[in-house]
Structure 1
């Protein structure tokens, strides 16, 4: 930091502090000088006038001492400039009194002149070190202290007096120059101290930032370690089950047992797919790649969709699930909000052994409060903040995946922050928990209900689908899944392969995002549309969990399906691609 960058007010404040700090020594010097001068002149001057002058000087010194005391009691009572002006006024009054003494008590008699001159010279020279901190204060003291005696000497025709006037004038000029130089040195020293203090503060701030960054990096590293350990464990469990079931199926010819094994294989695959979906959601939240699309939403419509999804689960567990009817509308992102509510309801059902779960909306001030209440095991007070941590689960140290994956509430917290819908929780162990989401209300949209028409389920038989993927096993597995639906499947590993082998235009295209030689599914679809027309329906499928893939797909205007691809999602995607073009596209899965 350059010295010139220091604000003038800050510099003046420091000068005023020094000025008032030196004031007691200045007043003590005045008192000693006045006492000594009175002793020297007592027998040679008018004693009444001398006493009057001493009294005036004592009163002025008392007033100046009270000023110093007032500033010590109230340093911020007024600004530094006013304190400087008050001090300079006192210095000017003191200089005038000393100048009056020089006018009244100087005489041609050498001893008296020498006594008066020595006292004035001593005061003016001694004040250089103390008053030059604020140069105006020194100038208004020195000039009226010396100039009256100079004027008195110049009125005399005596050579001694005129010589004394010349010496006194030169002395005054030298003192003013020294005071000015001393003032510059003091200002430079103050500025240098400011620069050093600012540098120390900057170094200290950088050290604190470095410490905070190191601690944050350590926390991130620990979180990554926990994340990888938990993800590795939870991925291995269903994968191990799937592997064992495949081996068992290969050795068992009994149809009933094979159906049971197939069902268990489906459960293991679904569990692994659910974990991958939650890992993707968690990665999107942590990378900040979520881009909510806010719009008015009728809460009852979301309640109805979630009721249809969770009612069979609740009934199978012997629990009551109730969504209290509401006419409220909220301003939110439908997909992200329903994901929050889906995680909260699923979590409530998982930790409720008996009783039930209720979802309701109520008004709180100018906002709406969507609550998920359960009669489950509850959460201890000292664990309420922990439940939103990733992979944290109460009562599941063995990480039984049937009790969940430990990401649900972490995802809830991240999505709530992204939507600016604060989430809170209160709970009593043994009596249940209440998770609440605070949301802004929205005006009811009368036209929305008119246009919200469910797309009819389409028969896929006879439609042709081009599947582009560089993995032969994936191509064959997806083709095997779609053929029982009556779909004519064409497979290719690249756009060039497809263009060379296709007999005619397909009805839609499904392309993997990452293809051979650095090409992407977006490139492949563009090449096919160049051949068959820009209206060729197409979508992307990917196993890449990088949130950037979702942004790229959205930017290109494609629906995106994540691997592993469940049959119902693939079916829904194909029905969407083959439905009338005026229907709105779904969000990326």
Structure 2
């Protein structure tokens, strides 16, 4: 059995058909459901039905043929085209638009009033549409629109009474309709007000939860980050076999805790709505190789044989968000298919690229498949061993996929394994490659490198400085942005430095004091997108805490290699 989850909402066949047609006409892509679009689709469906009612009423009445044709033509020529124009505009430019909402409401009530006034007794059922539209405006747009729509409905009733002889001859019917037009919206108003109060309470609780998760995961990242660096120092300290085995187990446990806090921060960041994709051409083959390399130790711990299928394509994507998606899927494969083979690769589907992760684990029972993308849902069977995690990996994958208009699917067969796919990646030509540069030999790239380290947490500062010195760097460690800069090859700074100062402020100050663009690296426990926006410089690497020492060394080496030829560490300078 397989299950596919997409960003699109579920709709009725007629709504789906109309929206497919309008998307084709406008050249737009599918957007998440919004209230204005739903109202516009309803208008397009109701227009022909109301016109049919008007035709029947006029044909059964005693009006002459010329009058009948004029009335029908006026309705068909004005209201129906206006309804389609509103739908096309809503799909082309989705979201809130006050002027468009007012125009749509006026258009609706004028059309319905026209039909009621012209049709006599035969168009009386159209009053049900008036109530439907009135309640619909309130449910879709809120209490103020419900009040305004109720006023429009009563105005419609008055105008119809003034021009329709049948209504004038039945005053008690008009009074009954007027009472209905007041009582039904008033009842809905009370329900909406109570629902809004409950919703606001739930929203505040959810925001408080998100803030707590973000703050807790950020604060706990600091000591975990320091422990990770101290472990790296211990691994290079010439320990015996038994001691190295113990340090390795500590590192493995710490890696699990680190991934847990990363998931908590990811979900709280997504809840805040501040994550915005930065799409650019990405070499998918290199991205997959890098991800496999970053997860090699986790695969080794799980005794998983991880194989990557080479891919030469480039796709449009946010490489950071896409990396997070794939890493979460791999983490699940390692947990649920230990000691098995895991395959990471790509394939073309419908002219686009799909990334697939296939494991040879036990598979997932059919009863669990519809729920695997729900937050905090974990597969538990009687007698199962405990599996680390809180059930946030796949929900994060799904939500990140929605941000990039990608489809996340899963196929699983018990006893044969599970395949998770990320589909819909647009293939693009490879960008022009820069001319190759002459690399500095890696073994000596750190020797004598002058690093200015700024970190307000003493434990993290000491751990980072100790590790950098073991790599051969000359470190100047500061708990705040320095007042002077004397000989600095690279700046490594935390982002939150206290005293309303950030890593961006530190970088600007150091570069001003040094009178040159000193290469910088930022370490942070916050959302990378927010930090990137505040830095305003896409060339500055950002390391998410807790930083794995191998990742720090790789980034630092890349920065040093990038500045070779412009400046050199002391021991590599020309005599």
The reply to whether TM is greater than 0.5 is: yes
Unaligned runs of 5+ in 2: 1-48, 66-115, 121-161, 566-575
Give 2:504's aligned residue: 522
Question: Within the alignment, does 1:336 sit opposite 2:318 as a pair?
Answer: no
Q: Is the 8 A contact 1:322 1:359 kept in 2?
A: yes
Q: How does 1:173-572 map to 2 (within 5 A)?
A: 193=177, 197=181, 200-201=184-185, 204=188, 207-208=191-192, 211=195, 214=198, 218=202, 221=205, 257-309=242-294, 314=299, 319-353=304-338, 355-395=340-380, 403-445=388-430, 447-448=432-433, 457=442, 459-495=445-481, 498-499=482-483, 502=485, 504-544=486-526, 548-554=530-536, 558-572=540-554
Deviations 1:425-444 (A, max 9, x none): 12223332221221233233
Q: What is the Cα-based RMSD across aligned positions, in Å? A: 5.0
Q: Is the 8 A contact 1:230 1:391 kept in 2?
A: no
TM-score, normalised to structure 2, is 0.58
| Residues 402 and 262 of structure 1: CA distance in aligned 2, closer, same or farther (over 3 Å) | farther
Taking the aligned partners of 2:205 and 2:487, their CA distance within structure 1 comes to 51
Deviation at 1:344, TM superposition (A): 1.8
Q: Is the 8 A contact 2:309 2:344 kept in 1?
A: yes
Deviation at 1:422, TM superposition (A): 0.7
- Of the structure 1 ranges 407-416 and 283-292, higher mean CA displacement relative to structure 2 is found in 283-292
TM-score, normalised to structure 1, is 0.56
Bigger radius of gyration, 1 or 2?
A: 1
Three-state SS of the structure 2 residue aligned to 1:87 is coil
Taking the aligned partners of 1:185 and 1:284, their CA distance within structure 2 comes to 61
Taking the aligned partners of 1:450 and 1:378, their CA distance within structure 2 comes to 47
| Residues 344 and 224 of structure 1: CA distance in aligned 2, closer, same or farther (over 3 Å) | farther
Taking the aligned partners of 1:438 and 1:203, their CA distance within structure 2 comes to 46
Deviations 1:73-92 (A, max 9, x none): x99646379729943569xx
Deviation at 1:423, TM superposition (A): 0.3
| Residues 75 and 580 of structure 1: CA distance in aligned 2, closer, same or farther (over 3 Å) | closer
| Residues 556 and 205 of structure 1: CA distance in aligned 2, closer, same or farther (over 3 Å) | farther
Count matched residues: 413
Three-state SS of the structure 2 residue aligned to 1:372 is strand
| Residues 264 and 537 of structure 1: CA distance in aligned 2, closer, same or farther (over 3 Å) | same
Three-state SS of the structure 2 residue aligned to 1:292 is coil
| Residues 373 and 87 of structure 1: CA distance in aligned 2, closer, same or farther (over 3 Å) | same
Q: How does 1:50-89 map to 2 (within 5 A)?
A: 77=52, 79=54, 83=58, 86-87=61-62
Three-state SS of the structure 1 residue aligned to 2:421 is strand
Deviation at 1:183, TM superposition (A): 9.6
Deviation at 1:293, TM superposition (A): 2.6
Deviation at 1:401, TM superposition (A): 7.9
Deviation at 1:533, TM superposition (A): 1.6
| Residues 489 and 369 of structure 1: CA distance in aligned 2, closer, same or farther (over 3 Å) | closer
Deviation at 1:535, TM superposition (A): 0.9
Taking the aligned partners of 2:552 and 2:267, their CA distance within structure 1 comes to 23
Q: Is the 8 A contact 1:298 1:330 kept in 2?
A: yes
Deviation at 1:580, TM superposition (A): 2.8
Q: Is the 8 A contact 2:58 2:119 kept in 1?
A: no
Give 2:8's aligned residue: none
Taking the aligned partners of 1:306 and 1:135, their CA distance within structure 2 comes to 69
Q: Is the 8 A contact 1:376 1:431 kept in 2?
A: yes
Taking the aligned partners of 2:194 and 2:562, their CA distance within structure 1 comes to 57
Deviations 1:490-534 (A, max 9, x none): 122323xx225x5x1322222222234322232233222222124
Give 1:574's aligned residue: 556
Three-state SS of the structure 1 residue aligned to 2:512 is helix
Taking the aligned partners of 2:256 and 2:119, their CA distance within structure 1 comes to 84
Deviations 1:180-225 (A, max 9, x none): 9999978999599569627844762773585377369649958987
Q: Is the 8 A contact 1:392 1:406 kept in 2?
A: yes
Taking the aligned partners of 1:446 and 1:135, their CA distance within structure 2 comes to 64
| Residues 77 and 371 of structure 1: CA distance in aligned 2, closer, same or farther (over 3 Å) | same
| Residues 347 and 217 of structure 1: CA distance in aligned 2, closer, same or farther (over 3 Å) | farther
| Residues 217 and 367 of structure 1: CA distance in aligned 2, closer, same or farther (over 3 Å) | farther
Considering fraction of residues, name the structure with more helix. 1
| Residues 325 and 474 of structure 1: CA distance in aligned 2, closer, same or farther (over 3 Å) | closer
Deviation at 1:379, TM superposition (A): 1.6
Task: Answer 1 or 2: higher relative contact order, Cα 8 Å, separation at least 6.
Answer: 2
Q: Is the 8 A contact 1:300 1:328 kept in 2?
A: yes
Q: Is the 8 A contact 2:353 2:427 kept in 1?
A: no
| Residues 403 and 449 of structure 1: CA distance in aligned 2, closer, same or farther (over 3 Å) | farther
- Of the structure 1 ranges 409-418 and 353-362, higher mean CA displacement relative to structure 2 is found in 353-362
Q: Is the 8 A contact 1:399 1:405 kept in 2?
A: no
Three-state SS of the structure 1 residue aligned to 2:488 is coil
Q: Is the 8 A contact 1:330 1:439 kept in 2?
A: no
